[in-house]
Amino acid sequence: MLEQLQLWYRHGWIRAIDLSLAQQLAQQLGDDDQATVLLAALTSYQLGRGHPCLDLNQLYVTPEQTLDLPAEHATLESLQECQTPQQLLASVPALANQDSAMQALISSVAVNQTNSPLVLEQQRLYLRRYYRYEQQIKADLAARMASIQPVDEHQLKQVLDELFGRQQSISWQRTACAMAMRSRFTIVTGGPGTGKTYTVVRLLATLQKLRGHQQPLRIRLAAPTGKAAARMSESISNELNTLKTINDVKADIPTEAVTLHRLLGTVPNSRGFRHHQDNPLHADVLIIDEASMVDIEMMAAVVNALPARSRLILLGDKDQLASVEAGAILGQLCEQAEQGHYTPELTAWLNQTTEVALPFDKTDPNGESWRYLQHTTMFHESRRFDPNKGIGKLADEVNRQQCGWLAQWLHDSDAMAAAHVEFDNIRMRAVPRANHPAVQQLVEQGYAPLLQLLQQRPDSADEVAIDTWAKGILKQLEQFQLLTAVREGDWGMHQFNQRISYWLFGDQAAEHGWFEGRPVMVTHNDYSLDLRNGDIGIALRRTSDEPLRVAFPTAEGGIRWLLPSRLTQVDTAFAMTIHKSQGSEFTHTVMILPDHDVPILTKELLYTGITRAKEQFTLLCAQPQLVLKAVERRIQRSGGLANG
């Protein structure tokens, strides 16, 4: 069995850390416990794919699909040498079927002991650290949900009438504000443009207005990445400026959001944070935006550091891609949120706070079994996209895994766009290779305004004028963006960045790592420079005879200038992966798919890429049929967060 795992590693099917865990356990347990050794390696492998645990039921029902070993590494030689997952399971007598595998794990000294690396719960096998994370989150959220807060419904209704006005139809934004008053845990989920920022400002105003005679609530705003935190700050500031009915509490609503790492306080050379159970955050309310990007380890750190008396409010789109690291926190907590599943008691209470009753179909007599949904509000109507055409219709169909309208569009994008108004802001280009002239033409047109701005550097050395020029260039970077599904290969992010750099800047880009006009994305938090993963800057010369510097926007609306030599972990950002684009929006988004199927092509990936576009979306792909195949595939991460 170990020989087979070594072959899997040699052919790139599992990671070195997966094999190492198996080898260490084999040394401790000997040849008599191959079942535990193999399942431990598979659990570690699943963790690398984003699953906090190995679901044994899924493993036995669909072993190849569950493990999803990367086909791109398979050669004729490897297929002859390596046993398939099903064959490898069958080769160990104790793993002949799921029941015997469960029995072997239960009797193993390496499972469920205090110092063991593995924990078995029901049919889910965990590495102990991730089991603790999940249990910590479940226990904390259960306690916050159980802490029902006293609310004067009449006073709450008066405040909501003031903030939202009289309603002629159901307002889910208003419902979310009412929901947040009931307990110390709330989720607000919905797609782009559905009003999450609009709601959160009014939610905070509601909390501040109903706090009684106490001091203003201490509110903290956070997001997983620097880019998402900056967008949260900007959106809340803009919304506050338009809201005239909260002048009495406006000063008590913060606008500055920080990254979760900065909120918790990183400790150098450690996985831990400065804020934890023994040194909690000073916050009465914590709001986390883009919560779909938060992994299980980070969420465990958050709830560990947040006092039990504090409110935790999660904002995000449950249908977006899950976190890069293990876990699918928001997706699991919001499962079935479209149907509501509110208990009759909750529905009756919410109806007291509004003049328009909740839709009948959102009430479920058995809603108590959907415990997280009793604290969740989902927004359905986008103010940004028309659901009947273009980006809105495409995103909705992909999200619902329907292919009728999509297939029609893919069949002849140009004809559809010319003949039907519903295709007004989406285009598709079938390109046989990544460096096709049509791709180059699209890129050059998209980045032409950027090149023009680069030529408009102020003649004087006036710092204000130069900073204004840099701000304009950074703003222009939000107008056009290429998104790739993969990082490596001819259709990957790295190759496209090299290609685009050459198309736009010629030999200057090929000969030098740094050149004027190079946009960069920070790939790791750098606390010494106060830069966060996802921050975007651009290389510029403040005057024609000065050396290159990289301009980054500041939270205060200014510009920071840093020498390129100080930036050790950045990528060129003409193209970025769809994963890295989460939390961002671009006027024209171009999504590029590879010419072959890969497991990462899912409906969540497509939906996330499509919804980064504000006004125009273009799809580039070699094989349109792969788009339909991707729509049929969805991310289903294992985990027990919603169980028990």
How many residues would you count in the chain? 644
* 475 labelled binding-site residue: no
For 7, phi then psi, to 5°, come to: -65, -40
Q: What is the DSSP string of 480-494?
A: EEEEES-SSSTTSHH
> Is 307 in contact with 283 (CB distance < 8 Å)?
yes
HSE, side-chain direction, 13 A CA sphere, residue 410: 20
* 195 labelled binding-site residue: yes
* 390 labelled binding-site residue: no
Q: Tokens 């919410």 label which residue?
A: 350
First to last CA, the chain: 35
* 194 labelled binding-site residue: yes
Q: 3-state class of 257 per DSSP?
A: strand
Q: Which long-range contacts (CB under 8 A, 24 or more apart) does 248-253 make?
A: 248/209, 249/205, 249/208, 249/209, 249/216, 250/205, 252/208, 252/216, 252/217, 252/219, 253/201, 253/204, 253/205, 253/208, 253/219
* 192 labelled binding-site residue: yes
Residues 6+ apart with CB under 8 A from 76: none
Q: Where are the alpha helices (DSSP H) in 258-403?
A: 260-264, 296-305, 329-333, 344-351, 390-399
Q: How far is CA 394 from the centre of its chain?
A: 20
Task: Write the CA distances from 602 to 311, 395, 404, 609, integer angstroms.
Answer: 34, 13, 17, 11
Which letter does DSSP use for residue 359 in this model?
P
CA distance 636 to 66: 10
Q: How far is CA 499 from the centre of its chain?
A: 27
Strand partners, 562: 550
* 196 labelled binding-site residue: yes
* 624 labelled binding-site residue: no
Burial string for 170-187 (b: 16+ CB within 10 Å, else e) reads ebbbbbbbbbbbbbbbbb
Per-residue tokens: 592: 């590029």
Which letter does DSSP use for residue 391 in this model?
H
- Single-letter amino acid code for the residue at 352: Q
> Is 351 in contact with 358 (CB distance < 8 Å)?
yes
Q: Which residues are annotated as a binding site for ATP?
A: 190-197
Q: Which residues are annotated as a binding site?
A: 190-197
